[in-house]
Amino acid sequence: MSTQLLSQAKPKANQSELYLIGKKEKLTNFGFSKTEINYLQKRQKEGDKYILLNRFTQLIFVQFTEEWANKSVAEQLETCRGLGHKICVALNTHKYDSIFINHGNHLTETLAIAEGMALSNYQFLKYKSDVKLSNSLNQICVETETNLNKELAELQILVDAVYKARTWVNEPQSYLDAVSFAKEIKSLAISSGVKCETLTKKQIEALKMGGLLAVNLGSKTAPTFSILEYKPKNAKNKKPLVLVGKGVVYDTGGLSLKPTANSMDTMKCDMAGGAAVASAICAIAKMNLPYYVIALVPATDNRPGENAYTPGDVIKMFDGQTVEVLNTDAEGRMLLADALAYAKKYEPSLVLDFATLTGAAASAIGSFGTVCMGTADEATKNQLKIAGNLVHERLVEFPFWDDYAALIKSDLADMKNIGGPVGGAITAGKFLEKYTNYPWMHFDIAGPAYLNSPDKYRGKHGTGVGVRLIVEFVQELCKA
Ligand code: BES
Ligand code: ZN
Ligand code: ZN
């Protein structure tokens, strides 16, 4: 399922339309009837900026653009996405299949409206029998404008990438286990012009990825480790940007079984980081962005099978460091550590990891943003935060003082896999840091990756968070 974004010269008869109208423009210039103009003027006097006209064969949306005047660019874009969402709901409620956006020279705003509309139109109906549940809207047509062609094509790729990441997250573990996840990643990579190698259990064993193998011990399904590489000839960077994503296709907690009621219900979302990085690198390739990027996705489920790793175990990791396991539910860091250590071989300029890593990050800021921390320089951190604001995947940097590293010291091994009662998101980050020797940022998406109730164009369930942030960040790097 996809929503098409098209460039179109003129509205078709009876096609629904959106008009973006500036303060100085005359309402008589748009072909509205007298009655309609009277109505619009009355509503405008009452201070309304968004007005819906129901012509019964089409819906006409009018948005007065002065509403955006005093806002920051990021706020304007987000308001526009919200407008796109509102329009999407109205079109689907009234069963229309397409809309024409008269851009009125508000080009960036038009793209953001189209983005919000398309993202809002996502559905996951694979397991529903009732075909009538399907949204009617399937085409978003933007008034042709030469300067928009490239952007519109890139937006289509981006929207498809977010859809893909959401669908992977929404698929239950019975369909998407570590092996099928790796297969899906590979097929997307191949169709996107990205090289993809899937390490099998044998290869993972030969490499001695102790963290990933330990988590996998309680499972009947083999682990996988996907390596994606996009290296365009015209790349701006010599050393790659490496993306790492947690690919726990289901997290029961293992022998330290998840304790609280319902806390396991949504744990199919624990591969959201892996979904985001795999989908993002493929989008970057489809856009032909001149940037050398690698993505790594270690994947397994975390279960209490008879051979499961246990609290009290000591695990030798890929890089030789040892970990005292005190909670098997802190499994994400075990496999991420191996992937981060593996990333060293690329001598990366920067590594970004995305993971639904801790409940602590989710309780600290909810689903309103992503917790981040790391060792990248301030300029890089700023670029990431700016990108986060522009796509409204906002970043909150947590302190990363070494005091927190003291909390994961172990009497028995080089470190333990849990900290104390405070700073759970940060001690998890400190654990990961021990496996890095390059500039690095960690994004804990446990809060925003999966929503139980709908939030505008993010919808409900898998949000695809991370995809738009990564793509925006790389687009900016390419402009530099
Ligand atoms: N996958 C969970 C974190 C999570 C929580 C993701 C809520 C999405 C929503 C992770 O593997 C986990 O269980 N973390 C533990 C760590 C603890 C045992 C140190 C947690 O946060 O409780
Ligand atoms: Zn866990
Ligand atoms: Zn987990």
The runs of H, that is alpha helices, within 366-459 are 378-390, 424-433
Which among 215, 248, 331, 358 is the best mutation to test ligand 1's pocket, defined by most ligand atoms within 8 Å of the CB? 358
Taking only the tens place, the pLDDT of each residue in 403-441 is 999 999 999 999 999 999 999 999 999 999 999 999 999
State in Å: Cα 235 to ligand 3 middle.
Answer: 35
What is the tens place of the pLDDT at every residue in 137-148?
999 999 999 989
Flag whether pLDDT at 1 surpasses 70.
no
Give the pLDDT band of residue 24 (cuts 50, 70, 90).
confident
| Ion ligand 2 residue ranges (Cβ < 5 Å) | 251, 329, 331
CA distance 137 to 180: 31
Q: Which amino acid is at 41?
A: Q
- Residue 470: is its pLDDT beyond 70? yes
- In this prediction, residue 473 has a pLDDT band, given cuts at 50, 70 and 90, of very high
Q: What is the pLDDT of residue 342?
A: 99
Closest CA to 54 of 1, 8, 91, 106: 91
160 lines ligand 1 (CB under 6 A): no
Has residue 106 got a pLDDT over 90? yes
Determine the average pLDDT of the residues in 54-79.
94
Mean pLDDT of 106-111: 96
Q: CA of 258: how far to CAs of 82, 254, 263, 266, 336, in Å?
A: 36, 8, 7, 12, 20
Locate the ligand 1 atom nearest the alpha carbon of residue 449 and give its number.
8
Ligand 3 mean position to 329 CA, how many Å? 7
- What is the mean predicted confidence (pLDDT) over 328-338? 99
CA atoms of 153 and 114, how far apart (whole Å): 12
Whether the CB of 362 sits within 6 Å of ligand 1: yes
- Tell me the whole-structure pTM to 2 decimals: 0.98
115 CB under 6 A from ligand 1? no
In this model, does residue 280 exceed pLDDT 80?
Answer: yes
Is the pLDDT at 67 greater than 90? The verdict is: no
Annotation: CATH topology of 4-144: Leucine Aminopeptidase, subunit E; domain 1 (3.40.220)
Domain boundaries, the chain: 4-144, 158-479
Question: What is the mean pLDDT of the segment spanning 263-273?
Answer: 97
In the predicted model, is pLDDT for residue 224 greater than 70?
yes
pLDDT digits (tens, 9 = 90+) for 361-376: 999 999 999 999 999 9
| 259 pLDDT higher than 70 | yes
What ranges make up the beta strands (E) of 129-240? 139-143, 195-199, 224-230
The pLDDT tens digits for 156-203 are 999 999 999 999 999 999 999 999 999 999 999 999 999 999 999 999
The DSSP secondary-structure symbol of 458 reads G
Ligand 1: atom nearest CA of 253 is 13
Per-residue pLDDT at 117 exceeds 80: yes
Note the ligand closest to the C-alpha atom of 420. Answer: 1
What value does the mean pLDDT take over residues 282-302?
A: 99
CA of 432 to the centre of ligand 3 (A): 14
386: number of Cβ within 10 Å: 16
Decide yes or no: CATH 3.40.50.300 for domain 158-479. Answer: no
pLDDT interval class at 131 (50, 70, 90): confident
**d(Cα 441, Cα 439) in Å, to the nearest integer?**
7
The pLDDT of residue 285 is: 99
Any atom of ligand 1 within 6 Å of the Cβ of 184? no
Predicted pLDDT at 107: 95
For residue 23, what pLDDT is reported? 85
Angle at 125 between CA 174 and CA 270, to 5 degrees: 40
Please confirm, yes or no, whether 86 is among the known catalytic residues.
no
Phi, psi of 2 (to 5 degrees): -150, 160
Is the pLDDT reported for residue 32 higher than 80? yes
Catalytic annotation, pick one of 81, 164, 186, 333 = 333
| CB of residue 359 inside a 6 A radius of ligand 1 | yes
Mean model confidence pLDDT for the chain: 97
* 376 Cβ below 6 A of ligand 1: no
CA of 357 relative to ligand 1 center, distance in Å: 5
pLDDT of 478 higher than 80: yes
